[in-house]
Each structure stands twice: as C-alpha cells, then as structure tokens.
Structure 1
Amino acid sequence: MHSKVLRTIYTFFVGILLAIFVGVGIAAFYPEPKYPDMPAELKVMQVPHEDTKAQKEESEKLLITQREFDQKAKTYEDQLKQYNRNVSIIALAAAILILIISLSTFRNLEVIADGLLLGGVITLLYSVVRIFGSGDDKMRFLVVGIGLATALALGYKKIYPA
C-alpha cells in the first residue's frame, strides 16, 4: 500500500516537473515579444481649457503619438500570435518526443515511464492551449488533431502492449 502511494506521487511529480521544464525551457531560449511602452504623454488625459493654436498643435501631436502607439500595439499582437503558434509547435514536438521515449526507452521502468507519459500528456495539453492564442484556425485544427491521434495511439500502446 505504502509503495503504491509513493509510486503514484512520484509519477505525478515527474510528470508535472517535466511539463514545467519544457515550458520554462521554451521561455528561456525563445522569449516572448514585449508589449510596447505607452508614451508618458498618453498616460495622463489632458482637457483643453482654451481653443488656441498651441492647444490644437498639442492635440495634433498627441493624436500622432496615439496612432504610432496603436501601430506598435498592433505589431505586438501580430508577433504574439506568431509566437504562440511557434511555441505550440515546439511544445507539440517535445510532447511527442517525450511520449515516444516513455513508451520505448523506459518501458521496463514503469514508474519513470508513467511519469514521462504524464509529462508528455501535460506538455501536449500545453501545446493545445498555446495554439488557441495564434488566431489560426487551420493550425488549431492540426495541433488538436495531432494531439487526438497521439492520445489514441498512446492509449492503445499503453493498454495493449505488444
């Protein structure tokens, strides 16, 4: 009884730690794009007291600054969608590699194999979650389809080993 509980805890620990390791590794070597800093003059709303020429020029400058910032924010959003797509693909590849290793290399070490299997499944789930931030329906379909096929193959291989 004690051994079974310890094995289960160890399996979950390895699985969760492995998924975190993959996520942290991706973030360390492929950093996320940074949101542009908002210009200081746009942070404080100024209400004009008079309708003077200087005030109109100031309003025009603020409008130009706002448009420039909006363009930078749009560029950031596009970069973030691309980043999410790439992270999803990297995590998907890592998940499949981990799952293959768990079902082949460590097949005889059941506790480690199960921990790797759980880590691969969690990493696969992370990949599916990240693809939803990409805004690309076809990539979502592809990643979810690969995830489904992997889950079905895994279940078959684990339940009916050759």
Structure 2
Amino acid sequence: MGKKKFLLTVAIAIIFVFFIGYGIEVFHDAPESAKFCPEVYELTNESACQEAGGIWDDLLEPRAEGVKGIKESVPVKGYFCRNTKECYQEFETAQNQHDLVVFVVAIIIGILAIIAGVMLNKDAISTGILAGGVLLLLYGTIRYWRHADDVLKFILLGIALAVLIWLGYKQFDKR
C-alpha cells in the first residue's frame, strides 16, 4: 500500500469514528451536570444556599492567618455551600444510561463497518472502514467499561479477540 492509500485509509478510519461518535451525541444528548446539580459553591449565606437546593456546611474552623497566595494571604472561609449527594447520583444514573446507548450503537455500527470493510474490494477504502469499525468497537467499549461487571468485561474482551482473529484469517490469509 502506497503512502497516499495509507493516508486515505487512516483518514477514513478516524473521520468515520468521529462521524459516528458525533452522530450519537447529536441524536442522544449527553446529560449535563448543571441540569442535575445547581451551581452553589459561590453562595455565601445559608438561606441562599438552601433556596438554591444546596447544603450549608459550617463545620470548618476558619483560619485567621489565611492561605499564602502569590501576592497576599487569602482568608479561608469556615463555611461553604455544596450540592446534595442525590443530585450527583441522579447525574451518574443519567450518564450511565447515556454511556449504555453509546456502547450499543457503537458496537452495532462497528460490527457492520467491519463486515463492510471485509466485503468491499477497494483496498484503501475497505481497510479504512474496517479500521474505523475496530476503533468504534474500542470507543464504545471504553465508554461503557467502568459500568460493566467483570463477567461482561471478560466476554467483551473475548469477542474482541475473536473478531480480530477472524479478521486476520479473512483479510490476510488468502490461500
């Protein structure tokens, strides 16, 4: 494969993954933490904090000497407003659901791209689509990896290994 074909292959693979990844985000919005947890960290009194849905903490002992800054000491407050644990849990649940959608769509399109890449006859294009499919499988798996249990991780790695071995025989072993 010449330099031009190689560059075309790499470009197709990378742009394919970006295209599908961006398409998933366009049609299934990722949750935004600001919609679940309001910005409360700058609030300086208890009533404003509670009205905004935050929790007021005044457990810290204020230090009169402050913290050494670049030019002058910055006083340390003995209080702060923080979000509830529930807002973080709700955001995490929404993020998990979104990651599952990304995983499923990326796996399905990745497998279809691998099959198409094996079946096409144009060397640079088919290899680019095939590589894009493999990268898409990787992208979907990485997005869902932290949510998967150990058995699912083992199965995913086994499937990935089987696909790569199959590709090796199908693509490179032409006896």
TM-score where L is the length of structure 1: 0.76
Contact 2:114/2:129 (CA < 8 Å) preserved in 1?
A: yes
| Residue identity opposite 1:65 in structure 2 | G
Three-state SS of the structure 1 residue aligned to 2:2 is: helix
Specify which structure has the higher proportion of strand. 2
Specify which structure has the higher proportion of helix. 1
Deviates more, 1:129-138 or 1:13-22: 129-138
Deviations 1:44-76 (A, max 9, x none): 3647xxxxxxx7xx4994796338743122111
Shift, 1:132, TM fit: 1.7
Contact 1:11/1:111 (CA < 8 Å) preserved in 2?
A: yes
Could you tell me which runs of 5 or more consecutive residues in structure 2 were left unpaired when the two chains were aligned.
56-81
The answer for the alignment partner of 1:89 in structure 2 is 104
Contact 2:17/2:136 (CA < 8 Å) preserved in 1?
A: yes
Map 1:1-150; keep pairs closer than 5 Å. 4-37=2-35, 38-39=37-38, 42-44=40-42, 46=44, 58=47, 61=50, 65-66=54-55, 69-104=84-119, 106=120, 108-150=121-163
Three-state SS of the structure 1 residue aligned to 2:33 is: coil
Shift, 1:133, TM fit: 3.6
Could you tell me which runs of 5 or more consecutive residues in structure 1 were left unpaired when the two chains were aligned.
48-54
Shift, 1:128, TM fit: 1.9
Counterpart CA distance in 2 for 1:90 and 1:135 is 16
Deviations 1:86-105 (A, max 9, x none): 2112111111000001111x
| Residue identity opposite 1:28 in structure 2 | V
Higher RCO structure (Cα 8 Å, ≥6 apart): 1
Q: Give the paired residue count.
A: 148
Counterpart CA distance in 1 for 2:20 and 2:52 is 43
Q: What is the RMSD of the two structures over their aligned residues, measured on CA atoms?
A: 2.8
